[in-house]
Amino acid sequence: MGEYALLYILFAPFAGALGLIFVSNRQPLLVRSIAASAAFVSLITSLYIFYAYDSIAGGFQFVQKFEWSRQLGIALYLGVDGVGTPLVLASSILLFAGIFVSWHIKDRTKEFYIWLLILAAATIGVFMSLDLFFLYFFYEMSVIPMYLLLGMWGSHTKKYLEMTDPEGLKRRDSVGFILNFGSNSKEYAAMKLVLFLSAFAVIALMGILLIYKYSGLNTFDILVLREQANLMNIPALGTTLDKIIWVLVFFGFASIAPLWPLHSWSPVGHAAAPAATSMLHAGVLMKLGHFSIMRVAFEILPETTRELMPIAAVLCMFSIIYGGFVAFYAKDTKYVIGYSSSSHMGYVFLGMAALNYISLSGAVIYMFAHAMATGMLFAMAGWVYDQTHSRDIPSLGGLVNKMPFISACFIVACMASVGMPGTVNFIAEIMIIVGSWNKYPLQVIVAMLGIVLTLAYLFKMMRGLFYGPMNQKYSHAHDAISTVDRLPLLIMISVSIGFGIFPMHLYDVVRSGVDPLVARITRVVPVAETNEGLGVNGKSMPLERTAAPLAAHKAISDPPQGSREERE
């Protein structure tokens, strides 16, 4: 399994989607079983690479490379380091959980699962890609299924439902209605998401193409480009061109993160999306931005990253506070969770901006932790909507009597989102706050206020949904009783609490990827000619070079050796 593990994880969802094409919707159990089996293969193999990853050797492991175009320097080049490994695991967990969260979908079940599998596979492909071409390819691939999942299986907001004539005929065919910013129909949400992400993806593509052109290496290989970043024969290197490239890459990818003020597409998308899509959207799709910035800007332009990352430190404050306040006043469950996710992504940018081992490790762990917490919240918001056909918090209440299991899980999810000790979110938040204090004390204070806001709006939503008097028109609602309904929540709760109590392996894996990255940015010297940390299952393998050898600087290319105390 070890040699081809990444191929199993990446192509199992694609194989499942391909197999579903030949199955009829009149066989719903077979459709669901194929989708669940494909997701299960990815999940089991992701667990394998997570625990088989050699954190002492570090570097990129389980590497597979298939040349696609020698003339253009493009290859399907897959590998995971300490940053990518936990995110691949998070994608696989949310895909598997999302299959069961969507178990009761009856409208075009086959097509729904096909697009859900493709969406998850695309996000996994980004986290594995060591080639800029395929990183961007998988990044853009994720937009297509999101558009279809929102537009076909999504739901309208309360404002949309209110815009009807006396006969109740919704004007869905009106172009003016779709573009009405107050309506927030699912068509509007899908179109806004696609246009917004595609436009900024083109900006990121411009930065990638400038790297390709001015490097003179005729390759999209990230590892070759990072090794020679400081010796590139770029006429304007150190003056303006590298900063232009960095700005293009950063803001192009920051839109999907989403960083304020590029965030407005995300909460609308959350509100319209079906539950499983919202889980993948908030859990891993938003992390594509942070991850791609690390892979491209941090790796290839380390000196410029050190100079310009304070931009993120300023903007993250607006993300945290603005998202928190809007979530507090929102009355739609999915808008509360959606703006909460936008707010929490500001913590990741804060950890990235501080550029030290503690803060950046905390940022990566927080991406994993947030995927579990927000996945739980969206899954339960979807369950409440399926039972009541309402997301309007003021009209709900008293559901704890009908949904004791869901309400108990909701409390756990809220505690995880706040960062309660015993959950992995607590560890991540502490690392970000401690690691960022010396460099950005104002931002840390804002982040602490954001935690208080998180506690306020999540408990306000929980009280509005589950406590107080119950509207009798929801008396038919029932709890998650079957194994199929409870399994996804139990998986995400187990992961969140399990890594919160036993975090060391997760920390060791993440730290092995963060250490050389931070060392590269803070020291900004050329990396080694060899790459002994690169290998399969910790075994060394040579790196194909497309340019002249460089002087060796093993301190950067190889992970730091010795105890962590000695490294620090």
pLDDT 10s digits, 39-61: 999 999 999 999 999 888 888 88
pLDDT at 179: 45
pLDDT at 126: 92
pLDDT 10s digits, 493-532: 999 999 999 999 999 999 998 988 888 888 744 443 334 3
Residue 442, token pair as written in the block: 């104002």
Contact status, residue 415 vs residue 499, Cβ threshold 8 Å: no
Q: Give the C-alpha separation, 436 to 361, whole Å.
A: 11
Q: Are strands 74-80 and 61-69 parallel, antiparallel or unpaired?
A: antiparallel
Segments making up each domain of the chain, as ranges: 5-161+182-558
Contact status, residue 240 vs residue 312, Cβ threshold 8 Å: no
Residue 27, token pair as written in the block: 């066989």
Q: Is 90 exceeded by the pLDDT of residue 299?
A: no
Specify the range with the lowest mean pLDDT, choosing from 99-108, 368-377, 550-559. Answer: 550-559
pLDDT band, very low/low/confident/very high, at 490 (cuts 50, 70, 90): very high
Contact status, residue 327 vs residue 340, Cβ threshold 8 Å: yes
Query: Residue 558 corresponds to which amino acid?
Result: D
pLDDT band, very low/low/confident/very high, at 184 (cuts 50, 70, 90): low
The pTM (predicted TM-score) of the whole model is 0.84
pLDDT at 333: 85
pLDDT 10s digits, 442-453: 989 988 998 989
Specify the range with the lowest mean pLDDT, choosing from 221-230, 378-387, 394-403. Answer: 221-230
Q: Taking the CA of residue 299 as centre, how many other CA atoms within 13 Å lie in the half-sphere pointing to its CB?
A: 25
For residue 75, the cross-strand partners are: 67
Of 182 and 501, the one with more pLDDT = 501
Following DSSP, what letter does each residue of 9-33 receive, concatenated? HHHHHHHHHHHHTTS-TT-HHHHHH
For residue 77, the cross-strand partners are: 65
Residue 402, token pair as written in the block: 């009908």
pLDDT band, very low/low/confident/very high, at 93 (cuts 50, 70, 90): very high
ω into 261 cis (within 30 of 0): yes
Mean pLDDT, rounded, for 373-385: 89
Q: Other CB atoms closer than 10 Å to residue 258's CB: what's the count?
A: 25
pLDDT at 525: 44
Percentage above 70 pLDDT, the chain: 85
Q: Other CB atoms closer than 10 Å to residue 519's CB: what's the count?
A: 21
Q: Taking the CA of residue 218 as centre, how many other CA atoms within 13 Å lie in the half-sphere pointing to its CB?
A: 8
